[in-house]
């Protein structure tokens, strides 16, 4: 994990690393939930250390790990989609615009928004009793 985080020096690089990790887990693991849980746990502390809101990590994982799962034929989601549609995953791949364009759009959004992207909320003051 340390070399991966060391590569991600900027917010854009960190988001791109999360996207690549989630897609990679989809390819390696047999279930889409692992592509969300494992990178989520891997990068949770780094997002907190950089002062980024947890919802940014959640959105990045959803935009990459969840939407690309149907495109991997040996993933449980891809196998279900193939069986339901009656065609191989690679047959509907060219028509899955949302699934293909969402991960790059997430990285582009991180690039365009940059450092102002989803700062972590300040802790709420506890009322004195």
55-108 pLDDT, tens digit each: 899 999 999 999 999 999 999 999 999 999 899 988 998 999 999 999 999 999
pLDDT tens digits for range 5-23: 778 888 889 999 999 999 9
pLDDT category of residue 127 using cuts at 50, 70 and 90: low
Angle ∠(37,38,41) on CA atoms, nearest 5:
85
Residue boundaries of the structural domains of the chain = 2-116
Residues 6+ apart with CB under 8 A from 103: 19, 23, 63, 64, 67, 68
State the chain's mean pLDDT as an integer. Answer: 86
Q: Are 17 and 50 in contact (CB under 8 A)?
A: no
pTM comes to: 0.84
């Amino acid at each position: 994990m340390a070399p991966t985080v060391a590569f991600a020096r900027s917010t854009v690089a960190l988001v791109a690393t999360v996207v690549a990790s989630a897609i990679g887990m989809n390819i390696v693991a047999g279930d889409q939930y692992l592509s969300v849980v494992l990178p989520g746990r891997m990068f949770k502390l780094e997002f907190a250390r950089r002062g980024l809101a947890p919802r940014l990590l959640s959105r990045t994982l959803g935009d990459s790990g969840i939407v690309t799962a149907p495109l991997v034929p040996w993933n449980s989601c891809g196998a279900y989609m193939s069986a339901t549609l009656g065609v191989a995953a690679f047959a509907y791949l060219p028509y899955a615009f949302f699934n293909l364009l969402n991960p790059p759009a997430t990285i582009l959004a991180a690039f365009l928004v940059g450092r102002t992207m989803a700062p972590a909320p300040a802790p709420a003051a506890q009322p004195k009793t």
